[in-house]
Amino acid sequence: MARDYYGALGVAKGASADEIKRAYRKLARELHPDVNPDAAAQQRFKDVTAAYEVLSDPAKRQVVDLGGDPLSGSGGGNGGGGGDPFGGMGLGDIMDAFFGGGQGGGRGRGPRSRTRQGDDALIPVELTLEECAAGVAKDITVDTATLCGVCHGSGCAEGTRPVTCDTCQGSGEIQQVQRSLLGQVVTSRPCPVCRGFGEVIPEPCRQCSGEGRVRARRVVRANIPAGVGNGIRVRLAGQGEVGPGGGAPGDLYVEVEELSHDRFTREGVDLHCTVHVPMTAAALGTTMSLSTLQSQEELVIAPGTQSGTVQTLRGQGMPRLRGSGVGNLHVHVDVVTPTRVDGRQAELLRELAALRGEEQAELAARGHGGFFSRLRDSFAGR
């Protein structure tokens, strides 16, 4: 009985050549042994390959349409050899036959350039809060690949030059021809001698060993703008690694590591600090001199200020990195209560308590171990 070649590919009897090709391409991707090692899938792969061989050949397809089997005497459609119908080719080789990999002797991609773009480089730099606020120009020592000063990127010893590769004749590729049920399939691969460049360097430069670049330490000036913060990266175009063959350098990125400050903490563009105010100054009110990042400011402590009060000095924070404007400085007030006082100071505090009508509260507290009792004991050093 004649086999159902159309059914094997899942196409109708009147399918066009393109439909047959697309159906086979899809099944080949799914069933090829390189992708699906299952034994049943491998047998199915052989069946669909045989079906494609028949239906892609107009003469054989006509035999099928007339009710015959053009492979009835050829060992089941495997080329009579009993093995892989593609002669051991990989899935990539089969796909090359469909996607321009060189069937019929077509030329491949050609030689690749020895000169390539360099990589980017990253280096950290420590900045103080003041430097982040004002911006700074920093001289940074970097260790990167630079252009070879002897061969200037060619990779050749002085007085020599690259020569055409004898193996690939300058194409950068070697081609392999394999026969299959699809006919002659030509695949291209990079030349193993010249590594796809199409040229070889007979006498490499001794300074760079043919790379066209060497590692060197150099100093780069980085202009860091005002408003940067921890983790911000500043790009220095063309200051990165020189590429192989003297290729254009990549970029250098300077990553900011902001050092902690002894007085200020930062939240975005806002700053925070704490001032310690004596109990009497908080009660009576006072004016304090406060050094900010930008100037010297007068901080007014209103009478009766409580611990935990926050005063905001607008425009005394960090500049915005993008756009205009400056953040604020938030001043946290910490009212300091004395831990030890002498006899005269204790007497004055008790007199103050009496003037404020707090002596009754003190008397009540004596029997209950309350606040005034504990305060008196503290003043007495007990």
Q: Are 179 and 185 in contact (CB under 8 A)?
A: yes
For residues 288 and 356, which has the higher predicted lDDT (pLDDT)?
288
**Which stretch, 74-83, 311-320, 373-382, has highest mean pLDDT?**
311-320
Closest CA to 222 of 133, 140, 144, 121: 140
DSSP code at position 326: B
Residues in binding site: 148, 151, 165, 168, 191, 194, 205, 208
Amino acid making up residue 254: V
The predicted pLDDT at position 188 comes to 80
Residues in binding site for Zn(2+): 148, 151, 165, 168, 191, 194, 205, 208
Find the mean pLDDT for residues 361-368. Answer: 52
Find tokens 């007495």 and name the residue.
Answer: 380
Residue 183: strand pairing partners: 180
CA distance 382 to 371: 14
Find tokens 């860091």 and name the residue.
Answer: 224
Model confidence, pTM = 0.59
Find the mean pLDDT for residues 248-267. Answer: 95
Domains and CATH numbers, the chain: 5-85 (1.10.287.110), 121-258 (2.10.230.10), 265-336 (2.60.260.20), 343-379 (no CATH)
pLDDT confidence bin for 237, thresholds 50/70/90: very high
The predicted pLDDT at position 124 comes to 94
Find tokens 């899942």 and name the residue.
Answer: 10
Q: Is the pLDDT of residue 172 over 70?
A: yes
As given in the structure block, the two tokens for residue 329 are: 């400085």
pLDDT confidence bin for 361, thresholds 50/70/90: low
Find the mean pLDDT for residues 231-244. Answer: 94
The predicted pLDDT at position 66 comes to 78
Report which secondary-structure segment, H or E, holds 277: strand 270-278
pLDDT one-digit tens code per residue, 62-108: 888 877 787 765 433 343 333 444 444 444 445 544 444 444 344 44
Q: How far, in Å, are 90, 149, 192, 194 from residue 107 at the CA level?
A: 20, 37, 17, 18
Question: 199-200 and 213-224 as β-strands: parallel, antiparallel, unpaired?
Answer: unpaired
pLDDT confidence bin for 365, thresholds 50/70/90: low
pLDDT confidence bin for 175, thresholds 50/70/90: confident
pLDDT one-digit tens code per residue, 9-56: 899 988 898 888 888 888 887 877 666 777 787 788 888 888 888 888
The predicted pLDDT at position 364 comes to 52
Q: Is the pLDDT of residue 329 over 90?
A: yes
The predicted pLDDT at position 132 comes to 95
The predicted pLDDT at position 43 comes to 83
Q: How many residues does the chain have?
A: 382
CA distance 125 to 137: 12
Phi-psi region of 82 (alpha: psi -120 to 50; beta: other; left: phi over 0): left
Question: Over pLDDT 90: what percentage of the chain?
Answer: 48
Q: Which long-range contacts (CB under 8 A, 24 or more apart) does 361-364 make?
A: none
The predicted pLDDT at position 230 comes to 93
